[in-house]
Structure 1
Amino acid sequence: MSDGVLKRYVRDYIHSQDGDVVDFAWQGGEPTLAGLDFFKKVVQYQKQFANGKTIHNSFQTNAIAINRQWAEFFAENRFLIGVSVDGTADIHDKYRVSVNGKPTFERVKQSIDLLKEYKVEFNTLTVINEENWNKGKEVYQALKELGSQFLQFIPIVEVRPECHQRLESYSPIANPELAPFSVPAEGYGKFMTDVFNEWVLQDVGNIYVRMFDSILACWMGYPASVCVQSKNCGQAMVIEANGDIYSCDHYVYDDNRLGNLMTTDIEKIALSKQQRNFGLDKSRNLTEMCRNCNVQALCYGGCPKHRIDVIEGEHHRQNYLCPSYKAIFTHTAPAMHHMSEAIRRGGQAADVMPMMAQIYNR
């Protein structure tokens, strides 16, 4: 990203936010490849244009390049670091290797130790794929051993390139073939329920799993904190290095290009009819199966990018991960009921842990 685009982005994004707190999220690709000097300039521009607002930065990284210079910078500027790690060494190193094909788990572990040493806040992002979907307990324990207290798990569902009808948009053919590393349709549910069984018995209030927090929020009557559970999309726009802005970081296609911040006001882009329709389509394009589902309010059809299954008699496509979402929401329901009731009585979610062994047969 050129200096001109960066300066314009920081200035306009801060000015477009009505609140007193402005959140910047840096990801890639791999953001450390931009270099430390780039992010020093980021902070410089944020201070220049803050105008009294509080600036927060999150930074998603594979952590391979983090050294003492990076750790010191993160600490001084209070960056929140998201570390991509997929479980134990053998699981992680299946796909996360260096450019020369070497395993990276030990380097990631060393980077996490550096973040701890410099007291940098961090969380972990774990991709659920064909390698780890049936190892939920093992992965969960490995992340705890790394010192992660804030965990996020995301499923990977990747349509093979030859199964797209056109390159300008996300347009998979009916029931497309998936890349071999994709998680099975029921696999994400198996993983998350296995993790839940560990978490709900011993770690509520000490370990925070983003999806479980979001489910509990919904049970409490609050909006979901995870976009795949939200009624509508459109809150995760992405800016590319040249200033182009797209509807979502999962939809960087020509048809989802909203404009360029060097020529169009960023607030105007965010409020455009194109982006509004993109967001509303999530709930507008549900199958009848979804509309009649008893867990629809916790899901709203999941991420539109995963709606690839063609069902006879349905006008719209069904989410590939539907079996997983049903399994997760059904399995967690008894605990969420008790947790939400405990909170309404003035207690805490963790108060219900003693009774969970009876419900979850442990």
Structure 2
Amino acid sequence: MSTTIENFQLLSKPTSSVCNLDCEYCFYLEKEHLYPERKHNWQMDPETLDNYIKKNIQSQPANVIDFIWQGGEPTLAGLDFYRKAVELQKKYAKNKTINNFFQTNGVKFNKEWATFLKENNFLVGISVDGNSVHHNKYRKTRSGKATYEMVKKAIGLMTEHGVEFNTLTVVSDTNVDEPIQVYEALKELGAKYMQFIPLVERIANKPTEEGLYLIKPDFSGQSDIAPWTVPNDKYGKFLNKIFDYWLEKDIGHYFVMNFEQTLTQLVGGRSICVFEPECGANLALEANGDIYSCDHYVFPDNKIGNINNDDLTELVSSEQQLEFSKGKLLNLDTDCLSCSVRKVCNGGCPKHRFLTSSSGLRNKSYLCQSYKEHFSYVVPKMENLIKKMFNQ
């Protein structure tokens, strides 16, 4: 077993689960139940911010250090918080290069935000689920108002100020049947870089001891597939239709990260954690400094330490985190071993492995059918693309 996880990232939650929206499908909003004592003290404090910046830089062997700001909604921390973050990055960076990635709903964006993001070279990921009908189905304010026009305004501000951005689209039951409409809607908004994330959640009939309803794969109680979950026979078709459309019209001009990641794998590079043989390199940092094995595993038994009290390198190399990392491979569905697309799929995200496999274990990915359909379709075409590229 490896003794360390190299090139790890901390996905920070400077405002914890607090958000100015109430998206029906959000998996992180209910994490507030894990911290009932912090209802009025939810923002990352100066000491935790300092330790995050310092330890993230000092513990990374690479010369390029990534800082990832998520939520909840990270803009709620305010601009002064990020001004301080950039100041600390400059203080501790020495000769290392710093990248900042900012995932937001865009609702609070104004000229001041856009100016700051541009001046400090933040790459922004903005959530938008297609056209107004797709987007407004689940992405609403706390008072129930639609948010599409707010997001459209935010994208306009970023475009006007030259802020580099990409779109993150959640593929749900609502938009999965209209892939080209979704894709074209993103293009109309000015998106050049897109990512399509499958929505998969289960809801427990009764909450856990901590008050959580959205549960882990090994949950043994009664549960149901969340109604907004993407049907497991449709996500692959969604991607394939966009792939053909993109291949015919837009290759080289628009970039779909789902396809870029597969191409990278086929030429020997690394993909996102979902499709790597092992995971555990993308940890979550809560606002109070608590560190969890993964953004999608913010559960009490997946907490590995706290950035204010522990050595970050030791936490990432801890037995608990290494077991989490290796668990993806060790718990691989036996059907995956002989699967023709294993090299680019690797069983998908462990959180989605709750169907019963042919071995009788509940370790088959809910998205298995879609992944097989998608990768079986696009990999041969991508391999032909690669041959043409190298034969030029």
> Do both proteins adopt the same fold according to a TM-score greater than 0.5, normalized to the shorter chain?
yes
Structure 1 position 232 matched with structure 2 position 275: no
Residue in structure 2 matching 1:10, options 53, 56, 61: 53
Structure 1 position 194 matched with structure 2 position 241: yes
Q: CA deviation at 1:137?
A: 0.6
Q: How does 1:143-158 map to 2 (within 5 A)?
A: 143-158=186-201
The residue identity in structure 2 corresponding to 1:146 is: L
Deviates most, 213-222 or 317-326: 213-222
Q: CA deviation at 1:286?
A: 1.1
- Structure 2: distance between partners of 1:309 and 1:172: 12
8 Å CA contact 1:128–1:154 kept in 2: the answer is yes
Q: For residue 173 of structure 1, give the secondary structure of its aligned residue in structure 2.
A: coil
Higher relative helix content: 1
* Corresponding position of 2:5: none
8 Å CA contact 2:328–2:350 kept in 1: the answer is yes
Residue deviations 1:90-141 (CA, integer Å, cap 9, x gap): 1100111112211111111111010011100000000000100111110000
8 Å CA contact 1:2–1:242 kept in 2: the answer is yes
Q: For residue 160 of structure 1, give the secondary structure of its aligned residue in structure 2.
A: strand
Q: CA deviation at 1:331?
A: 1.2
* Corresponding position of 2:142: 99
Runs of 4+ displaced beyond 6 Å: 163-166
- Structure 2: distance between partners of 1:158 and 1:8: 33
User: CA, structure 1 residues 339+174, in 2 after alignment: closer, same or farther (shift >3 Å)?
Assistant: farther
Structure 2: which 5+ residue stretches go unaligned? 1-43
8 Å CA contact 1:22–1:56 kept in 2: the answer is yes
Q: CA deviation at 1:235?
A: 1.2
Q: CA deviation at 1:262?
A: 1.1
8 Å CA contact 2:292–2:304 kept in 1: the answer is yes
Structure 1 position 138 matched with structure 2 position 160: no
Q: CA deviation at 1:344?
A: 2.4
Residue deviations 1:242-284 (CA, integer Å, cap 9, x gap): 1000010000011110101111111111111111111111111
Structure 1 position 297 matched with structure 2 position 343: yes
Output the aligned Cα RMSD.
Answer: 1.6
* Corresponding position of 1:172: 219
- Structure 2: distance between partners of 1:56 and 1:217: 21
How many aligned positions are there? 345
Structure 1 position 51 matched with structure 2 position 51: no
* Corresponding position of 1:218: 265
Residue deviations 1:292-315 (CA, integer Å, cap 9, x gap): 211111111100000010235333
Residue in structure 2 matching 1:183, options 222, 226, 230: 230
The residue identity in structure 2 corresponding to 1:131 is: T
Residue in structure 2 matching 1:86, options 122, 129, 137: 129
8 Å CA contact 1:229–1:300 kept in 2: the answer is yes
The residue identity in structure 2 corresponding to 1:96 is: R
The residue identity in structure 1 corresponding to 2:237 is: K
* Corresponding position of 1:335: 381
Structure 1: which 5+ residue stretches go unaligned? 348-362
Relative to the length of structure 2, the TM-score reads: 0.85
Structure 1 position 326 matched with structure 2 position 372: yes
Residue in structure 2 matching 1:279, options 290, 310, 325: 325
User: CA, structure 1 residues 165+296, in 2 after alignment: closer, same or farther (shift >3 Å)?
Assistant: farther
8 Å CA contact 1:82–1:123 kept in 2: the answer is yes
* Corresponding position of 1:353: none
- Structure 1: distance between partners of 2:342 and 2:220: 25
- Structure 2: distance between partners of 1:49 and 1:222: 30
* Corresponding position of 2:113: 70
- Structure 2: distance between partners of 1:89 and 1:268: 46
Residue deviations 1:318-340 (CA, integer Å, cap 9, x gap): 00000000011011123112111
* Corresponding position of 2:390: 344
8 Å CA contact 2:278–2:325 kept in 1: the answer is yes
